[in-house]
Structure 1
Amino acid sequence: MYLSHLKLWNFRRYGSKGEIDLSEPDLSVDFKEGLNLLTGENDSGKTAIVDAIKTVLKTSSNDWIRLNEDDFYDDTNELRIELCIKGFVASEAKHFTEYLTTVFSEEDAVNELHLSFTASKSEGKIKSSDVRAGVGDGRILPADAREYLKATYLRPLRDARAELIPKRNSRLSQIFAEHRAFKDRDDHILLNIYKEFNEAIESYFDGKDSQGNPLTDDQYGKELKKSIDNTIGNFFETTKSTQLSTSSAQMRRILESLELSFSNSINPGLGSLNRLFMASELVHLSKEDWTGLRLGLIEEIEAHLHPQVQLKVIRSLLKLEKTQLILTTHSPNLASKVPLENQIICRNNSAFPMGHKYTNLTKAQYVFLDKFLDVTRSSMFFAKGLVLVEGWSEELLIPIIADRIGFNLVDNEVTVINVSNLGFENYFSVFSRKDGRSMGTNISVITDCDVRAYSEEIVNSNKEYTKVDDEQYKKECASAVIAIKEKYTDDVKAYVAEEWTLEWCLMKSEVLGELFVNTVKKVHLNGNWDDDKELQLAEKLYKKSLNKSEIAYQMVKTLTEDKKEMDISALRTDESMKHIYEAIKNACS
C-alpha cells in the first residue's frame, strides 16, 4: 500500500477564507509509488506537506506532534487534512477491513483507505479530532490499526550522531526492536549472553572469575564491595550486604546500549553519519515481515552531503522496491538526477506533480529532459521567473543588462536557462498543465527572427555577400517575428529580435553598438570593421566563424570594469534591443 493523495484545508500556507468546502480543498496533490521529490523555492510549502502527513499518520519514532496556532491558515479557526491510501495486498488490507472503501471502475474494483483529521481553535485553545477512516467523516480508526500506518521521518539538519549512540529510547533501539531479529523474542540468545555477563560482573565483586574460582591478581573489586558493605552495616543491621550488577537482562535495555558506527573509522563526519542513519531507517522500512505502510518522509535529503554523495544516495533510493519515499530538497543537483515524473514542484500555494498524467510534455520530451536536464537547468524548478535563451552570448549578457536597467535577477529570483538550441518547448512545457492551471512562473523566451540581411552567392568560385533590399528585409523580419510569436501562449511570451541575430541587433544598437564593434575588433583582429562593419559581420555569421561567446564575455568584462558607470537604461526604447528589456521585465514582474 502507498499514500496516493493528500488534501488540505486551512493548513499552514494552504488556506482560504470562509467555511471549509469539502469539494474545494486548498491543496490537492497526488503521490506516486516509489520516490517522490518535492522541489521548490523557500517557503513554497514543502515542509507543510510533510508535516500534514505526519500529523495524521504519526511516526515510527513516536515524535511529539501537536498543533499550534501557526498551523492554522491566517486567522481561520478550523483546519482539515485528508489522506487516501491505495494499493493494498491481502496481508495489508486485513488490518483495515472495516474501514476500507471500494471504488469501482469499468476495469476493476480498488480498495482505498480514506483518512481524515480535523482541528479547531477557540479562545486560544486547540482541539484536535481523532483520525477517522471512511468516506466523509467516517469512524474513529483504532490505535491498533494506526500502528500499521506510522511513517518513518527524518527531520532536516538531523543530528545523526545523537540517533546512533547508546541512550534511553534511542532511534536505533526502536528500529532494531521492530525487526524480526528481536521482536517478541523472550528466549533471545543475547538475553542469555547478557545474563552470563551480569553474573560475571557479580563474581568480580566477590573476587571470583566467571567459573567461581578466586582471582589471584585482582581483588580490588572485592575490596571495594567490602568497603561499601562495612559502611552500609553502620546504617542498617550488620547482616545487610550489597550486590553490584548491571541492569537486568531486558531486550529493550540491551538494544538501547548498542551503538552503530563504521568499523575502522575514527570520528566520522556528519555526512557519513547521516548516510549511516538513513541506511538504518531504510532497514526499518524494508522489514520483510512488515504488513503495514512503508512510507519514509525525509526533509532536506541533501543535508550534510556533498554533490557526488547526493547522487549516490538518490540513485540508491530510486532502486528501492515496496517502499514509498517523499523527500524535500533545495538541491538542483538532486532535481537534475531524479526523473521528472517523480518530482512535485511546490509554488504559489499549490503543488504540481510532474508525471505524464499532469503535464503537456510528450514522451519524447520526458526522455529529452531526463538526459539533458543538468544542474544549471534544474534551477528553473526553484525560480520565480525564467529567461530561456539560445546560447552563451545571451546567457552571459542578460544578467548584467538586467542589473543595469534596474532588474537584478538574483533579487528577483529569476534564472537564465541556456537551451543551447531552439528547443525552448522542451523546457517551458514543463510548466504547461493538462488541467490548464498556471504554475505562476513568468517565462520569457528570447530568440532571433533569423532573417538574413545579406545574401550569399558564388561568383567565379568565390563567395560574395550582397545586402538585401532594406524594405524587403524589414518586411521579412516583421513577418518572421509575428510567426514565431504565434507559437507561444500567454503563459510563455516570446521576445524576438527584429533583426537577423542578437549580434546584428547589438551592432545596430544605439546604446551598445559602439561597445559591440570595439569588442569585435579586439576579438577578430582581421577585417575592415571600421569602414564596413555590416559586411564583415554578415560574412562571419554566414561562415559561423564569429566567436560569439568570447565577444559576449569581453563585453561583460568591459561593462563590469572599464564602463561600470555606463548608463544603458535607454535600452527600453532602443529599436534593436528593446526585446531584451521587455523579456527581462516580464520574467521579473
Structure 2
Amino acid sequence: MYISGIEIKNFRSFDNINVEFHEGINVLIGHNNSGKSNLLRALAIIFDSSVRKQLSVEDFNNSLTIESLKRESPKIVISVRITQSENENLMTDELVTVSNWLTRLKEPYEAKIQYEFFLPISEEKNYINIVSKARSTEEIWNIIRSQFIRLYINKTWVGNPENQSPVDNDSINKFDFQFLDAIRDVERDMFSGKNTLLKNVIDFFIDYDIKSDKSITEEEQKRKLQERKDIFSTNSHELIKTIQERLDSGNKEILSYTDGIGASYDKSTPDFEGNITESEIYSVLQLIVKQETGLTIPITHNGLGYNNLIFMALLLAKMQVDSDGKFLGSNAKVFPILAIEEPEAHLHPTMQNEFIKFLKNNINNRKVKQIFITSHSTHISSATDLDDIICLYTNNNKRNVSYPGKVFGENKIKSKKYVQRFLDATKSNMLFAEKIIFVEGIAEQLLLYVFADYLNKPLEKHHVAVINVGGRYFEHFLHLFDSNNKGTIDRKISCITDLDPMRRKKNENGNKKKNSFKACYPFEYNTNLDEFDYSNNTSMVSVK
C-alpha cells in the first residue's frame, strides 16, 4: 500500500487543496512559502505520534472571509488516502493494519484516515452569537483566541468520516513516520551510544553475520547467538572479577568508614558487585571517522552536510530495525515513511545528486516504503525523475499543485523525454519562477537581463526566469504551462525567437528544381521580392 493523496482544508497556508502522491519518492518543490513544509506537517499530524494534535489559532488558514467566520466556527480537516500497491501481497500485515479504514473493498483497495480540529456542536450557537457583531476578521480571531480555542477538540476518524469511527492506537502505531526538519542538530541526535537511535541500531545489527545468514535454520541462528552471548557473559564476568581484585585492598579502606559511621550492623557490611550487559557497553561507543592513514577523529569534526548523510543512513537503518517482525514481533512497524525537509541545507550540488540516488536505492531495496522531500533546490529537481516531482506554487494568493510528469500524455512522450533530459539545474528554475521567458540561445539569455536593467525593471526582482532552450524547441517545454490541461503550472510565459531570415533565388527558364534557402542579413529580408523567395522561423505559429 502507499499514501496516494492528501486533502487539506483551512490548515496554515492551505485553504483547500488536494495533492496526489505516488509510490516511492515524492519531491515537493516550489518557491519560498508555497506550502511545502506545511504539507509535511499535515502528514505528521496524522502519522507522527510525537506531534501535538491540539492546534492553535495560528494554525488556521488566514484567508477565511468574515462571512464564513460568522456563518460557522473555523475547522481544520486533514484527510489522507491510502491505496493498494500494484504488486501488493494481500496476505501481508499492510492490509490487516488498515482493514478498519477501508472505503473501497474491490482491488485496488482504498482506505482513509481523517484528522479534524473543531469546536464542539454544543459551543457553536454561543460562538455565532458572540462573533455576529464583529466588524473584522482580526476581531473574530481575537475572540476565538481568548474565548474558544481552549474549547476546541481534535478527533481522528478512519474509513468513511461520516461514520465517525475513531482510529485505534495499535493500527496507527504500525506507521513509522520519521520527520527530519530543516533545522536539525544531528550531532545531538546520533553520535553517542547513549542515544536511543544509535543504541537501537547497534542492538539490531550486532552479530548480523549470523542474523542475516540464510543458509542456516532459525534454530541454528538462535543457538549461535546464544553462544556469543554466553562468551560475552563469561568475558565480562572475568572483567568484573579483575576490577574487584584490583579493588580488594582499597575496598577495605573505603568500607572501613562504614564501621565508623555505623553503616555496618547485624553482621552485614556493604561491598561491591556488578555485571555488564551488552547494551551497557553500547553507551561507550562513539562514531568516528577512520582515515586512510589510520588516523581517527571524532565524527563531530565532519562538516554538517556529511554528518547529515550519516544521520539519514542511520535513520534508515533504524527504520529497518523497527519494521523487522522477527526482531520486534507484533511491535514491528508495517509502513516506514521518511519525510525530509530541505536536504540541500547542508549539501553541496554534487552531494545532492548522490543523496537522491541514495534514497532511490533504499526505495528499491524496500528499506522504506515511501519518501517525501521538500526542496527549493534546482539541483535536487534536476536530479529527480520528472514523474517524482510535485510542484507547489501560488497564484492569486491561492496554493496550487502541478504534476510535471503527468502533463504530457501518451501522444507527447517525445516532449517528455526531451524535457527530462534537458531539465538541468539551470533550466529546472522554470518550475520555481513566477514568470518565464524562453529564448533560443545563450546570447539572448545574457542580453535580456541587461535590457531589463536598462529599463529599470530587473528580472530577478520580479521573479522572472530566462530559460535558454538551446534552439527552436519551445514546444517541448510549453506543455508544462498549458493552462488548458490539468496538472500544468499556471504561469505567465513568453517566447522570444530569432528572426532567422533566409532567401532563395526563384526558378528561371522553367527549371522545376527549387534552389536551396540560404541565410541573409535582416536588412535584406523582403527587399527583392522579384528575384528571391523569403522564409523565416515559423516554429511558433502553432503555439498559443
Fold shared, TM-score > 0.5 on shorter chain? yes
Question: 2:45 — aligned with what?
Answer: 55
Question: 1:151 — aligned with what?
Answer: 177
Structure 1 range deviating more: 336-345 or 320-329: 320-329
Question: 1:134 — aligned with what?
Answer: 159
SS at match of 2:95: helix
Residues 51 and 405 of structure 1: CA distance in aligned 2, closer, same or farther (over 3 Å): same
Q: Residues 170-569 of structure 1 correspond to what in structure 2 (within 5 A)?
A: 170-175=196-201, 199-200=237-238, 202-206=240-244, 208=245, 219=246, 221-222=247-248, 224-239=250-265, 241-243=269-271, 249=277, 251=279, 258-264=285-291, 265-266=296-297, 267-286=301-320, 287=323, 289=325, 292-319=334-361, 320-321=363-364, 322=366, 323-348=369-394, 349-356=399-406, 362-432=412-482, 435-436=485-486, 439-452=489-502, 467=524, 469-470=526-527, 487-489=542-544
The Cα offsets for residues 327-350 of structure 1, whole Å up to 9 and x where unpaired, read as 111211121121111100110112
Contact in 2 for aligned 1:164/1:261 (Cα 8 Å): no
Deviation at 1:381, TM superposition (A): 1.5
SS at match of 1:150: strand
Unmatched segments (≥5 aa) in structure 1: 16-25, 209-218, 490-589
Question: 1:4 — aligned with what?
Answer: 4
Aligned: 1:70 with 2:58: yes
Deviation at 1:432, TM superposition (A): 3.0
Aligned: 1:29 with 2:19: yes
Contact in 2 for aligned 1:133/1:139 (Cα 8 Å): yes
Distance 1:241 1:358 in 2: 84
Contact in 2 for aligned 1:409/1:415 (Cα 8 Å): yes
Residues 301 and 66 of structure 1: CA distance in aligned 2, closer, same or farther (over 3 Å): farther
SS at match of 1:110: coil
Deviation at 1:382, TM superposition (A): 1.6
Residues 223 and 81 of structure 1: CA distance in aligned 2, closer, same or farther (over 3 Å): farther
Residues 244 and 342 of structure 1: CA distance in aligned 2, closer, same or farther (over 3 Å): farther
Distance 1:233 1:432 in 2: 91
Residues 345 and 234 of structure 1: CA distance in aligned 2, closer, same or farther (over 3 Å): farther
SS at match of 1:407: coil
Deviation at 1:7, TM superposition (A): 0.5
The RMSD of aligned alpha carbons is 3.9
Deviation at 1:153, TM superposition (A): 1.9
Question: 1:514 — aligned with what?
Answer: none
- Structure 2 length-normalised TM: 0.72
Question: 1:572 — aligned with what?
Answer: none
Contact in 1 for aligned 2:403/2:488 (Cα 8 Å): no
Distance 1:139 1:255 in 2: 44
Structure 1 range deviating more: 138-147 or 237-246: 237-246
SS at match of 1:67: coil
Contact in 2 for aligned 1:387/1:445 (Cα 8 Å): yes
Structure 1 range deviating more: 294-303 or 172-181: 172-181
Deviation at 1:442, TM superposition (A): 1.8
Structure 1 range deviating more: 111-120 or 154-163: 154-163
The Cα offsets for residues 121-177 of structure 1, whole Å up to 9 and x where unpaired, read as 653427442422101244111111111123122222432222222265532234556
Deviation at 1:396, TM superposition (A): 0.8
Distance 2:78 2:103 in 1: 18
SS at match of 2:39: helix
Distance 1:128 1:257 in 2: 45
Distance 1:298 1:304 in 2: 13
User: When the two structures are aligned, how many residues end up with a matched partner?
Assistant: 452
Deviation at 1:448, TM superposition (A): 3.3
Distance 1:263 1:63 in 2: 37
Amino acid of the structure 1 residue aligned with 2:459: L
Amino acid of the structure 1 residue aligned with 2:116: T
Distance 2:166 2:420 in 1: 44
Contact in 2 for aligned 1:456/1:463 (Cα 8 Å): no
Residues 95 and 484 of structure 1: CA distance in aligned 2, closer, same or farther (over 3 Å): closer
Residues 418 and 67 of structure 1: CA distance in aligned 2, closer, same or farther (over 3 Å): same
SS at match of 1:29: strand
- Structure 1 length-normalised TM: 0.67
Distance 1:13 1:399 in 2: 32
Amino acid of the structure 1 residue aligned with 2:264: T
Match of 1:125 among 142, 146, 150: 150
Deviation at 1:379, TM superposition (A): 1.3
Residues 155 and 408 of structure 1: CA distance in aligned 2, closer, same or farther (over 3 Å): same
Contact in 1 for aligned 2:100/2:159 (Cα 8 Å): no
Distance 1:167 1:156 in 2: 24
Contact in 1 for aligned 2:407/2:479 (Cα 8 Å): no
Residues 204 and 347 of structure 1: CA distance in aligned 2, closer, same or farther (over 3 Å): same
Deviation at 1:359, TM superposition (A): 6.7
Residues 467 and 357 of structure 1: CA distance in aligned 2, closer, same or farther (over 3 Å): closer
Amino acid of the structure 2 residue aligned with 1:347: Y
Unmatched segments (≥5 aa) in structure 2: 120-143, 212-221, 326-331, 509-517
Amino acid of the structure 2 residue aligned with 1:419: V
Amino acid of the structure 1 residue aligned with 2:358: S
SS at match of 1:369: helix
SS at match of 2:109: strand
Residues 205 and 450 of structure 1: CA distance in aligned 2, closer, same or farther (over 3 Å): closer
Residues 468 and 336 of structure 1: CA distance in aligned 2, closer, same or farther (over 3 Å): closer
Contact in 2 for aligned 1:117/1:130 (Cα 8 Å): yes
Distance 2:520 2:493 in 1: 40
Distance 2:169 2:287 in 1: 31
SS at match of 2:371: strand
Distance 2:197 2:274 in 1: 22
Distance 1:148 1:464 in 2: 71
Residues 162 and 389 of structure 1: CA distance in aligned 2, closer, same or farther (over 3 Å): same
